[in-house]
Structure 1
Amino acid sequence: MKETFSTLLRYMLISGVLVHAFEPISTTIVAGVGAASLGMKLYNYLFETCDENWIGFNATGLQEDLQKKLFGQHVASQVVFKAVTGFMNNENPKKPLVLSLHGWTGTGKNFVSQLIAKNIYHKGMESGFVHLFTATAHFPHTRDLETYKTQLQQWIKGNVTNCPRSMFIFDEMDKMQPGLIDSIKPYLDFYERLDGVSYRQAIFIFLSNAGGQNIVQVALDFWTAGRQREEIQLKDLETAVSLSVFNNQESGFWHTSLIDKNLVDFFVPFLPLEFKHVVQCGMAEMAAKGLELNATVVDRMARDLNYFPKDERVFSVKGCKVISSRLDFYTD
């Protein structure tokens, strides 16, 4: 938004139309039109609306965030950037963008979903057009599965009707009740409209630990063979991950038509983090907390964490998940 609130307000006062903007009857048609226009600008500044005032893709910002803030995830960074950029630059997509992010805890899945939201919506995750669902919080009871299906369908339909460029994030898909996510399958498909509503501009992101073991095994195999981590490519991981979550009876993706009908655009693998990545997370967290950067403190904290294999200590067990709380302990 190019005009600040104070600039807009000052202009309205000087031009003598501020009163007209709020009066039910304007003294002239010209004044009424001008007041309505300026009143709408003021409204769009103060209240989030589903238009370019509040929604606009920043490709450069997303690329820089992925490169500078996400550590150890060269595959995920590349896939996410290309997928989101291609979708947002497509004026007439054939279906919604559907990304499924997989990997062990602390590898950056939630963080990446936040970066995507930040670079599309001016309010980021605080936007009224970004909707986060957590399996254990929003869908906890097996007995209420059919109720959840109906509620989820209504929620998505209502929000996309309100704003076609809506984003839906489903966390803990590995704990989601099997069958629930299939209830929204029609909204992710190649339909132009369903009951008068188009879902083609929406974004759906699924976050899951399922498939993490397969990803870890690939990383271990590369390390054992003496190959560089950066040699790992999407093709080395994607098929194994998709098959793993599809056949996992405890996964929300178990035998789901979303996979069977190829409605997930990308299964994005997040590799286990190494010691150097944990250090990078620690330094970034210190900066975010406004603390004086101290490599010695971060190094000591990182070394005290658990790694595997036990003897070689190559990969972090919890990644960057506990960095924030651990830093508080070490800095105090």
Structure 2
Amino acid sequence: MFIATFHFPHPKYMDLYKEQLTTQIKKTQERCHQTLFIFDEAEKLHPGLLEVLRPHLERQAPENHRAKSRKTIFLFLSNLGGNIVNEAVLNLLQAGGSREEIKLEHLVPRLRAEIEQSTDSGFGHSCLVKENLIDFFVPFLPLEYRHVRLCARDAFLSQELLYTEEALDQIAKMMVYVPKEEQLFSSQGCKSISQRINYFLP
């Protein structure tokens, strides 16, 4: 897993990062039959760095890249388009619908347009997006209060700790919810939940 601001923080070292990333991909593909590369904070990746990935994603890639790249998945996690997704879910809920009714085809065109029009992200203007080299855009729906409670429960269970329903409620209430008026969605998803359970240990 690569985190943009952690692994590639300084634009002035971009040539070095490109070389390191190319080497890492090549070595991993040689060692592993199937590979998965995850790029978190993709919206903060330098376009030049994304250019390194082009040979692995192009449909007509050179033969030596294509053979290895067939069994390689590149996953880009990004906050781009989050507002569009939240707005779509909010509108549906306000109209009396449920999140389970949301179809991928309702969100993906709007999400893709938002990513392409983003002015403060190199990802939206990268060759990967402009040349349609990304196969799927998968929107993550915002987490509601009930989902945050489940995250808290899972955090306790993963550490084999006992919990109470009251503790789950208190942890869920500690989170910040948006929009300001409706307060339906956790602004941070379930981030920091695992740290928060420490306040409720016996």
Q: TM-score, normalised by structure 2?
A: 0.90
What residue is the counterpart of 1:315 in the other structure? 185
Q: For 1:271 and 1:244, how far apart are their aligned partners in 2?
A: 16
User: What letter matches 1:294 in structure 2?
Assistant: T
Contact 1:166 1:202 in 2 (8 A): yes
What residue is the counterpart of 1:134 in the other structure? 3
Pairs within 5 Å for 1:164-183: 164-183=33-52
What residue is the counterpart of 1:24 in the other structure? none
CA displacement 1:72-113 (0-9 Å, x = unmatched):
xxxxxxxxxxxxxxxxxxxxxxxxxxxxxxxxxxxxxxxxxx
1:204 alignment partner, SS class: strand
Deviation of 1:134 (Å): 1.2
Distance 1:322 1:196, change over 3 A: closer
CA displacement 1:121-179 (0-9 Å, x = unmatched):
xxxxxxxxxxx111112111111223322332232123213334121111111221233
Deviation of 1:231 (Å): 1.0
- Residue 134 (structure 2) pairs with residue 270 (structure 1): no
Equivalent in 67, 84, 88 of residue 218 of structure 1:
88
More contact order relative to length (CA 8 Å, sep ≥ 6): 1
Equivalent in 159, 163, 188 of residue 57 of structure 2:
188
Q: For 1:328 and 1:303, how far apart are their aligned partners in 2?
A: 15
Q: For 1:153 and 1:243, how far apart are their aligned partners in 2?
A: 29
Q: Which runs of 4+ in 1 moved over 4 A?
A: none
2:188 alignment partner, SS class: coil
Distance 1:270 1:195, change over 3 A: closer
Pairs within 5 Å for 1:1-332: 132-190=1-59, 191=61, 193-194=63-64, 198-332=68-202
Deviation of 1:292 (Å): 1.5
Deviation of 1:198 (Å): 2.6
Q: For 1:216 and 1:159, how far apart are their aligned partners in 2?
A: 36
Deviation of 1:218 (Å): 0.9
- Give the length in aligned residue pairs: 201
1:210 alignment partner, SS class: coil
Contact 1:192 1:198 in 2 (8 A): no
Q: For 2:146 and 2:65, how far apart are their aligned partners in 1?
A: 51
User: What letter matches 2:51 in structure 1?
Assistant: D
2:148 alignment partner, SS class: helix
Q: Percent identity?
A: 39
Structure 2: unaligned runs, 5 residues or longer:
none
Deviation of 1:197 (Å): 5.5
User: What letter matches 1:142 in structure 2?
Assistant: P
CA displacement 1:47-71 (0-9 Å, x = unmatched):
xxxxxxxxxxxxxxxxxxxxxxxxx
Contact 1:164 1:199 in 2 (8 A): no
Contact 2:144 2:186 in 1 (8 A): yes
Deviation of 1:195 (Å): 6.4
Structure 1: unaligned runs, 5 residues or longer:
1-131
RMSD between aligned residues: 2.0
CA displacement 1:14-65 (0-9 Å, x = unmatched):
xxxxxxxxxxxxxxxxxxxxxxxxxxxxxxxxxxxxxxxxxxxxxxxxxxxx
Distance 1:250 1:179, change over 3 A: farther
Larger Rg: 1
Q: For 1:312 and 1:202, how far apart are their aligned partners in 2?
A: 42
